[in-house]
Amino acid sequence: MADPVAAVAALDEPTRRRLYDFVVRQTAPISKDEAAQAVELPRTTAAFHLDKLVDLGLLDVVHQRRSGRTGPGAGRPAKLYRRSCEQIEVSLPDRRYEAASHLLTDALVEAESTGEPVREILNRRAYEWGVGLASSTTGGVAEALAGLGFEPREDDGSILLGNCPFHSLAQRHTRLVCGMNLCLVSGLLDGAEASGVTARLDPSPDRCCVRLDQTPSSRSPSVSR
C-alpha cells in the first residue's frame, strides 16, 4: 500500500482529482482514451496521471476484452482503470478505530454464542493480535508499536507510548479500552520474546495508558529505539 498521506495529497492536484472523480463515478472500468476525452486532456497526459493514481493505490488496473471475444484473433485486452479496492485513511494523530471496532464486534459475537464475558474475550483477542503482530515485524517491538501509531519514546529506563490509537474510545470507556491496550502490548512483547520488558497501566491524559518498563540489560536497539 502506498503512503496514505501521499495518496490523499495527490488529489489536491486538479488534473488528477478530475480524472479520479471521473473514474470513480463510472459503473464499469474506463480506458485512458475515455478518461482523456471526458476531462479534455491529451491522451498521454491522462495516461501519466492515471498511472500515478494507480501507483498511489487510488486506482486499480484491469485488463479486459470489451468485444467479449476470446481466443485467437480476439485482440489484446484493453488496459482499464477503476476505483481501488484499498481503503485509504489519514488521521493525525494516528487513530485505529476500525481495528478497535473489529475487536469489539468479534468479542460481542463470540460472547453471544459462548456466554463468556465480553471483556475477557476482548482482552484475549487483543493479546492474540499483539502476538500475531510480533511475528510479522522484523524491526523489533518499538517498530511494531510505531506502526500501530503508539509513538514509543524513551523516558528514563521506560518506554512511554505518546499516542493512543483509540483515543476517543479510551476517553469514553477508559477501563475497557485501556485493558485492551495493555493486553495488546503484552501480546506483542510475548510474541517478540522481549525478555526483561513488561507492560503496565500508567494512565496520563496526554499519552497512552500503557508504559513499558525495562531492566538495564534489556535495553537493546530492537526494543528501545
32-74 tens-digit pLDDT:
999 999 999 999 999 999 999 999 999 999 998 766 656 555 5
Q: How many CB atoms lie within 10 A of CB 104?
A: 21
pTM over 0.85: no
φ/ψ of 47, rounded to 5, equals -60, -40
Q: What percent of the chain has pLDDT over 90?
A: 68
Distance separating alpha carbons of residues 4 and 146, to the nearest angstrom = 16
Confidence check: pLDDT of 221 > 50: no
**Residue 72 CB burial class (10 angstroms; 0-12, 13-18, ≥19):** exposed
* Chain centroid to CA 120: 25
C-alpha cell at 21: 472523480
C-alpha cell at 80: 482499464
Question: Confidence class of residue 5 from pLDDT cuts 50, 70 and 90?
Answer: confident
Give residue 97's region: left, alpha or beta (phi > 0; psi -120 to 50). Answer: alpha
Ordered by where they begin, the domains of the chain are 4-83 (1.10.10.10), 97-224 (3.30.1380)
In whole numbers, what is the pLDDT of the chain averaged over residues? 89
**Shortest CA distance to 21 belongs to which of 57, 60, 58?**
58
Q: Can you give the pLDDT at residue 222?
A: 44
